[in-house]
Amino acid sequence: MGNLSASSKKVALLGSERKPLEGATRGANVADDEIIRATVVLHRRTVSKLPAMETFAFSHTRSVPYRSRSEFGTLHGAEPRDIEMVLEMAHEHGLTVAQVNAAARTVVLTGPAAAMQQAFGSTLSWYDSPKGRFRGRTGPILLPEALQPRVMAVLGLDNRPVAKPHVRLTARSEPAGSFTPPELAQLYNFPSGVDGSGQTIGIIELGGGYRTSDLKAYFKGLGLPVPSVTAVSVDGGQNSPGTDPGNDGEVMLDIEVSAGVAPGAHIVVYFASNTDQGFHDAISQAVHDTVNNPSVISISWGGVEDQWTPQARDAMEAAVQDAAAVGVTVTAAAGDDGATETLSGGYYVEVPACLPEVLGCGGTNAVRSAAGGLVETVWNELAKNEGATGGGVSRIIPLPAYQASANVPLQPQTNFQGRGVPDVAGDADPETGYWVRVDGKNTVIGGTSAVAPLWAGLIARINQRLGKPVGFVNPVLYQIGSNAFNDITQGNNGPGNTGYSARAGWDPCTGLGTPNGAALVNALLGVTAATA
């Protein structure tokens, strides 16, 4: 074990440098006795490298099965000596070890700010910004030279908000074209004879809460059983309805849509803080949850990829890679601000929707046709200040192999050959939104926030039908192509004629399209038969 004494040479953790937040004003330093909680994320064991991402794709074959959570932890968790070195550092600086999860490769430390700053070589101050007041740092995190190569990220010292919920409201009180989730499940031809029974849908929330009384009233109105919903606290996060009403709509939308289209599924909501630590830890805890065992995780929050530190982005990707390895599908909203997704101009995509192991979910405007189906175009209500589907090309994440034939354009500002977002789509326009119940009132909500749980519910039904999880399904969806999708070919996601435009096949607005659920099941059954 390396020498981690206080006199050991310290070096910068790669990718940890924080720049001052634009528009933020620095105030007083954080009090020495303020208690801080930090998560140290370690690299995977080197004795058994994680297989290439593509090998996880729908690997129901005898040759490449998904790993169980316990087996994955044994093969790809943290090295015991790496954990020991973090514990040694914590002891030397008087920090308390709150949690160790070897499978998830995380060590959670708590202690006074003075000790945290000394341990990680950071100065913590209070900042006032348009996003609110937060505890922040600038510059890199410093670690003992022997420990630094073993650490992927240190999260939580800086607690600025990193994401926003992707819900959109309409200015009209009762849009004539709105839907209940079961109606959309029928219109999208979700597979019959299954309701998600035996499956658990994990939902990530970074604020807000739900009321059981609202769920009872809502599902009674739909004529469906009240779903089984469990709240899980991550890093102290709580189900807190009423304290943050703006985020209650996100929480209720996620539960009501996912359970509305998969009423037999168990819903588990992981509540965490809106920080890089909270976001990562919620996903990681859901992926490695051996009590609830979610087979699909829905995420309706996101933040522009450039605003993440590389260490935090890498930790997020490692968490969803874990999901792929253990057979968990991760769905994520692509965003609600069109192709720009930022106030500083230019075209951007969001984390986590842009991570290759995530099923990125874009949005459409869906109108009932005279024949009883749907007519769909790209969701774009920017002219009404009601948002538009996110979508585009990553500036940072390379093009994954499964998109090699999707004709993903180069990133317009950088010419980078990046990951294209989204992969799939669903109704998201608040003008054609979802009837939900929030804080005792019925209302209509849109946004790509609704599409992530819509697809999560569909995946739960597919898992039940197949008798096994589809897991990391992205490569297979691109292999299946248009046969199981409603291809969206009209509209764009920028103001005026800017942004990206829909086209035949995959596009950076609606991906492969919206689901034809029964056709998708049949296609997946065909893949299973061909590879068994």
Tens-digit pLDDT profile for residues 192-206: 999 999 999 999 999
Residue 6 has pLDDT above 60, yes or no: no
- Give the CA count within 13 Å in the CB-facing half-sphere of 282: 31
Residue 62 has pLDDT above 50, yes or no: no
Residue 47 has pLDDT above 90, yes or no: no
pLDDT at residue number 529: 53
Residue 271 has pLDDT above 90, yes or no: yes
Query: What is the C-alpha separation between 432 and 385, in angstroms, rounded?
Result: 15
Q: For residue 29, what are the β-bridge partners?
A: 125
Residue 360 has pLDDT above 80, yes or no: yes
Q: What is the DSSP letter of 270?
A: E
Residue 5 has pLDDT above 80, yes or no: no
Q: C-alpha distances in angstroms, 473 versus 72, 168, 359?
A: 19, 28, 8
pLDDT at residue number 176: 66
- Tell me the domains of the chain and their CATH numbers: 10-58+79-155 (no CATH), 164-531 (3.40.50.200)
Q: What are phi and psi of 152, to 5 degrees?
A: -90, -40
Q: Does the global pTM surpass 0.85?
A: yes
- In 59-129, beta strands by DSSP E: 96-101, 106-112, 125-129
CB of 55 closer than 8 Å to CB of 49: no
- For residue 483, name the pLDDT band (cuts at 50, 70, 90): confident
* % of the chain residues with pLDDT over 90: 84
Q: Which residues carry out catalysis?
A: 250, 254, 449
Mean pLDDT on 148-173: 90
Q: For residue 447, what are the β-bridge partners?
A: none
pLDDT at residue number 526: 82
Residue 532 has pLDDT above 50, yes or no: no
Mean pLDDT on 167-171: 80
Lowest mean pLDDT among 186-200, 334-348, 433-447: 334-348
Mean pLDDT of the chain: 92
Q: What is the DSSP letter of 289?
A: -
Residue 19 has pLDDT above 60, yes or no: yes
Mean pLDDT on 83-88: 98
pLDDT at residue number 61: 43
In tens, the pLDDT along 276-327 reads 999 999 999 999 999 999 999 999 999 999 999 999 999 999 999 999 999 9
- In this structure, the dihedral spanned by the alpha carbons of residues 319, 185, 484 and 476, taken in order and rounded to 10 degrees, is 20
Q: What is the DSSP letter of 52?
A: P
* % of the chain residues with pLDDT over 70: 93
Residue 191 has pLDDT above 60, yes or no: yes
pLDDT at residue number 173: 58
Residue 477 has pLDDT above 90, yes or no: yes
- In 422-477, beta strands by DSSP E: 424-427, 434-438, 441-446
